[in-house]
Amino acid sequence: MDIKVLGPGCKKCEQTAKIVKEALAEAGVEANVEKVTDMMEIAGYGVMATPSVVVDGQMKIAGKVPKKKDVLSWLK
Amino acid sequence: MEPIQEDACNCKAPRTGGNAASEAAMERKTLALYLGGSVFFLVLWWILYKNLLPLSEAASAFLAWAAGFDLDGHLGSSISFFIYEVPKVLMLLTLVVFGVGIVRSFFTPERTRAILAGKRESVGNVLAALLGVVTPFCSCSAVPLFLGFVTTGVPLGVTFSFLIAAPMVNEIAVVLLYGLFGWKIAAIYAGTGLLIAMIAGWTIGRLKMEKHLEDWVFQIQSGGLGAEEEELDWVGRIRYGIEAVRDIVGKVWLYVMLGIAVGAGIHGYVPEGFMASFMGKSAWWSVPASVLVGIPMYSNAAGIIPIVQALLGKGAALGTVLAFMMSVIALSLPEMIILRKVLKPRLIAVFIGVVALGILLVGYIFNFLF
């Protein structure tokens, strides 16, 4: 599984990355988590609000910090 | 009407007959709980708000009796001002943030972009400024939003109208101004703020500055993934509103208290007309000076209110203070540094220049009128 956390590095983006990692640990899922902070790359995803999470090429959330419950549902 | 929508949503995940039916009943119950809770909260809010003055008077009288100070003295009048204003402004803020949160749940950046794409410039500028107020926006995602707009056919000037209005005219600024200075000043601020956003955006559009965008902007493969449209039901919208209250009121309550404390001090102690010689109407240079000082400064609306309170209370002119507040909130050094990634220096200079000019005019007009 390939997970990308998009965001320039603001507080909410850090929170998002933390929650994603926690959810992964809780579900016992192995995944490659990458933080994307480059504006050009973020824009390339067509995201208009950060933080945003992309799971296996699918955008799951944009503009707010996800709840752990949400992240767990994406992992299934 | 809403329960039917609920059911329609539920059909997306069909299960075995009995299960789905009980789940629908569950969701109806949740909806009833949330709607009922909201109505209950509104009624409670209204009763409390209507009785706030006698309640706060009783509280300050009790405090004066317990601590042994005179209610009509300097200290007494400061304290009773504080005891009345803090719950009043926090209550107003909670209600408005909740209401705006629910309105915002209808406007995602994607939807706003869809409305703005392909609109004619003048109509587009007006719409963009208005949508800037209701679309959820955080200055840290200004660049992706800017790119998302410009690369999908929203004209540059229209995009700027949105970017100017979004931080400047927000619910926190308007509610705090209303609570502390009355509805007239709040309305003037919101109205002129929107007008500046519309006209400045339109002007930037007229200047045909597209070639002053960084070159890589045009290489972006627009479209990309696109967020999954999540259709919120009313439970979701109410939750969104509650979340907004927790997020925003949780962040700004301290500033609000500080602002009112400063105001209370001024109310009780500082003689009127103290600032009149520096920032009064007669000092013509005070408007450009406040704009110049305000541009590099960065603060959110809640943080600037204590300063506004202090300036106005000591006799500074309304236009001068409005100009200062607008330039602090709408133009800031950190935002310019973020936008520098997509805008060439010339366009940044034009952006600052046009908006500053608008703010300057507003400052002079209000000093002239009031």
* A28 catalytic residue (yes or no): no
B-chain CB neighbours of A45 within 8 Å are 224-225
Q: Report how far residue A54's alpha carbon sits from residue A3's, in angstroms, rounded to the nearest whole number.
A: 6
The fold adopted by the segment(s) A2-70 is Glutaredoxin (3.40.30)
- Beta strands in chain B, from DSSP E residues, in sequence order: none
Model confidence band, residue A1 (pLDDT cutoffs 50, 70, 90): confident
Q: Which of A12, A47, A60 has the CB atom closest to B144's CB atom?
A: A47
Domain housing B333 = 121-221+271-369
The minimum CA-CA distance between A34 and chain B, rounded to whole Å, is: 17
Task: State which amino acid sits at residue B69.
Answer: F
The minimum CA-CA distance between A68 and chain B, rounded to whole Å, is: 16
In a domain, B295, yes or no: yes
In a domain, B106, yes or no: no
Query: What tokens were used for B117?
Result: 């794409």
A-chain CB neighbours of B222 within 8 Å are 46
Note the pTM of the prediction, 2 decimals: 0.79
- A45 vs B: CB within 8 A: yes
Q: In terms of Cα–Cα distance, which of B352, B220, B324, B267 is closest to B82?
A: B267
Query: Do residues A36 and B138 touch, judged by C-beta distance below 8 A?
Result: no
B-chain CB neighbours of A65 within 8 Å are none
A-chain CB neighbours of B145 within 8 Å are 48-49
Q: Which long-range contacts (CB under 8 A, 24 or more apart) does B72-81 make?
A: B74/B268, B74/B269, B75/B268, B76/B268, B77/B267, B77/B268, B78/B264, B78/B265, B78/B267, B78/B268, B78/B269, B79/B264, B79/B268, B80/B56, B81/B260, B81/B263, B81/B264, B81/B267, B81/B268
- B143 vs A: CB within 8 A: yes
Query: What tokens were used for B334?
Result: 């950190």
Q: What SS3 state is found at A52?
A: strand
- The predicted pLDDT at position B162 comes to 93
- Pairing status of strand A2-6 against strand A52-55: antiparallel
* A16 catalytic residue (yes or no): no
Which 8-state DSSP code applies to residue A61?
E
Describe chain B by its helix, strand, coil percentages, rounded to 5: 75, 0, 20
Taking an 8 Å cut-off on Cβ atoms, the answer to whether B143 and A43 are in contact is: yes
- The predicted pLDDT at position B197 comes to 95
Task: State which amino acid sits at residue A41.
Answer: E
- The predicted pLDDT at position B15 comes to 44
Residue B337's Cβ-count burial label (10 Å; 0-12, 13-18, 19+) is exposed
In a domain, B191, yes or no: yes
Residues of chain B with pLDDT under 50: 1-17
Query: Do residues B135 and B112 touch, judged by C-beta distance below 8 A?
Result: yes
Taking an 8 Å cut-off on Cβ atoms, the answer to whether A47 and B148 are in contact is: yes
- The predicted pLDDT at position A69 comes to 86
Q: Report how far residue B339's alpha carbon sits from residue B292's, in angstroms, rounded to the nearest whole number.
A: 20
Q: What SS3 state is found at B341?
A: coil
* Cβ-count burial B12-42 (b if 16+ within 10 Å, e if not): eeeeeeeeeeeebeebeeebeebeeebeeee
In a domain, B333, yes or no: yes
Taking an 8 Å cut-off on Cβ atoms, the answer to whether A43 and B147 are in contact is: yes
Interface predicted TM-score (ipTM): 0.77
In a domain, B154, yes or no: yes
B-chain CB neighbours of A60 within 8 Å are 228
Taking an 8 Å cut-off on Cβ atoms, the answer to whether A46 and B108 are in contact is: no
Taking an 8 Å cut-off on Cβ atoms, the answer to whether B224 and A12 are in contact is: no
Number of domains in chain B: 1
Q: Any idea how long chain B is?
A: 370
- The predicted pLDDT at position B285 comes to 87
In a domain, B62, yes or no: no
Q: In terms of Cα–Cα distance, which of A17, A45, A51, A60 is closest to B138?
A: A51
Query: What tokens were used for A68?
Result: 């752990």
Describe chain A by its helix, strand, coil percentages, rounded to 5: 40, 25, 35
Q: Report how far residue B177's alpha carbon sits from residue B302's, in angstroms, rounded to the nearest whole number.
A: 10
Domain boundaries, chain A: 2-70
Residue A40 has pLDDT above 50, yes or no: yes
Instruction: Give the Cβ contact number of residue B175 at 10 Å.
Output: 23
